[in-house]
Amino acid sequence: MNITTEQALIFGVLLISLIGWRLIPQRKKHGSSPELFEIRDYLTELTVPKGGKFTGRILHDLYTAIEGEVEVLVLGLIRCGLLMEIPSGSA
């Protein structure tokens, strides 16, 4: 059985249009910008070691020391095992 070029072309087009498109990976749909932004990718935890430069000092001292170098927003502060959310002096 000989297959002509036209028959092979028609068979190829039918194969791609009916089955082949299902073999191509689907693109993930991008949602709105809030869904694209993952805050955990940008959070960092800082621990001040005992005897460190900022041990026993107030948070404002740390802000003053890094002013102009980096942008920092403190979400919480743990002192003596107690969590203080949005501590005073961070704004």
Q: CA-CA distance, 19 to 22, in Å (whole number)?
A: 6
Q: Say if residues 54 and 61 touch (Cβ distance below 8 Å).
A: yes
Residue 90 lies in a domain: no
Q: CA-CA distance, 52 to 43, in Å (whole number)?
A: 22
Residue 52 lies in a domain: yes
How high is the pLDDT of residue 9? 92
As beta bridge partners, residue 77 has 84
How high is the pLDDT of residue 30? 62
Structure tokens at 36: 């694209």
Residues 6+ apart with CB under 8 A from 74: 59, 86, 87, 90
Instruction: Give me the number of domains the chain comprises.
Output: 1
User: Which residues of the chain, if any, have pLDDT below 70?
Assistant: 29-37, 87-91
Q: Which domain holds residue 65?
A: 5-27+36-85
Q: Give tens-digit pLDDT for 25-48.
A: 887 766 555 566 677 777 888 888
Residue 91 lies in a domain: no
